[in-house]
Amino acid sequence: MRRLGVAVLGIGNWGVNLVRNIAASADYDLRWVCDLDRERARASARSVRGARATTSLDQVLDDPGVRAVAVATPAASHASIAMACLNAGRHVLVEKPMALSVPDGQKLSLAAEQSGLILMCDHTYCYSAAVRRIRDVIQRGDLGDLYYVDSVRISRGRVQPDVDVFWDLAHHDLSILGHILPAAYRPTAVATQGADPLGAGRTCLGTLTLRLTNAAIAQTHVNWLSPTKIRTTVIGGSRCTLVWNNLHPFDRLLVYPGGVALAEIGPAGARGSSLPGRPVALPLPKTEALSEVVKEFAAAVRERRAPLTGAGAELRVLTILEAASQSLERAGAAVCLDPRTPS
Q: How many Å from the N-terminal Cα to the C-terminal Cα in the chain?
A: 33
* Burial class for 232, CB neighbours closer than 10 Å (0-12, 13-18, 19+): middle
3-class state of residue 67 by DSSP: coil
The answer, yes or no, to whether residue 9 has pLDDT greater than 80, is yes
3 state SS of 23: helix
Per DSSP, the residues of 278-315 read --EEPP-----HHHHHHHHHHHHHHHT---TTBHHHHH
Please, which pLDDT band fits residue 275 given cuts at 50, 70 and 90? low
% of the chain residues with pLDDT over 90: 90
| Identity of the residue numbered 99 | A
Q: How many residues does the chain have?
A: 343
Is the pLDDT assigned to residue 331 strictly greater than 70? yes
Q: Which pLDDT score, from 0 to 100, does residue 327 have? A: 98
Residues 243-251 have a mean pLDDT of 94
Amino acid identity, position 68: A
So what's the pLDDT on residue 222?
98
**In whole angstroms, what is the distance from residue 54 CA to residue 40 CA?**
10
β-bridge pairing 187-195 and 335-336 = antiparallel
Taking the CB of residue 216, how many other CB atoms lie within 10 A of it? 20
Answer with the residue of higher pLDDT: 83 or 276. Answer: 83
pLDDT in tens, 22-63: 999 999 999 999 999 999 999 999 999 999 999 999 999 999
pLDDT band of residue 340 (cuts 50, 70, 90) is low
- pLDDT at residue 11 greater than cutoff 60: yes
Q: Compute CA 63 distance to the chain's CA centroid, rounded to the nearest angstrom.
A: 30
Q: What pLDDT is attached to residue 177?
A: 97
Is the pLDDT assigned to residue 98 strictly greater than 80?
yes
Confidence band of 273 (pLDDT split at 50, 70, 90): very low
Q: Are 27 and 6 in contact (CB under 8 A)?
A: no
Question: For position 2, what pLDDT does the model report?
Answer: 86
Amino acid, single-letter form, for residue 288: E
User: For a pLDDT cut of 70, what percent of the chain falls above it?
Assistant: 93
| Three-state SS letters, 37-59 | CHHHHHHHHCCCCCCEEECCHHH
Question: Is residue 17 pLDDT above 80, yes or no?
Answer: yes
What domains can you pick out in the chain, each with its CATH number?
A: 4-124+289-309 (3.40.50.720), 126-287+319-336 (3.30.360.10)
Q: What is the pLDDT of residue 277?
A: 73
CA R_g for the chain: 21
pLDDT for the residue 260: 65
Mean pLDDT of the chain: 93
pTM, 2 dp: 0.92
d(CA 79, CA 111): 12
- DSSP single-letter state for residue 274: P
Whether residue 222 contacts residue 206, with contact meaning beta carbons closer than 8 Å, is answered with yes
Gap between the Cα atoms of 164 and 122, Å rounded: 19
- Torsion, Cα 298 303 305 309, to 10 degrees, reads -20
Residue 214 is predicted with a pLDDT of 86
Please tell me what DSSP assigns to residue 12.
S
Give the pLDDT confidence score for residue 105 in this predicted structure.
Answer: 98
pLDDT surpassing 90 at residue 132: yes
Q: What is the pLDDT of residues 136-172, one digit of tens each?
A: 999 999 999 999 999 999 999 899 999 999 999 999 9
Find, among 116, 29, 24, the residue nearest to 69 by Cα.
29
Q: pLDDT digits over 288-325, tens only?
A: 999 999 999 999 999 999 999 999 999 999 999 999 99
Under 8 Å between Cβ of 158 and 92: no
Residue 258: predicted pLDDT? 81
State residue 272's pLDDT score. 40
Burial environment of residue 103 by CB neighbours within 10 A (0 to 12, 13 to 18, 19 or more) = exposed
Per DSSP, the three-state class of 163 is coil
Residue from 253, 232, 290 nearest 25 by CA: 290
Confirm if 327 and 191 have CB atoms less than 8 A apart. yes
Looking at residue 271, its pLDDT comes to: 45
Q: How far apart are CA 262 and CA 26, in angstroms?
A: 54
Name the residue with higher pLDDT: 276 or 325: 325
Q: What is the pLDDT of residues 186-226, one digit of tens each?
A: 999 999 999 999 999 999 999 999 999 988 999 999 999 99
Phi first, then psi: what are they for 95, rounded to 5°?
-65, 155
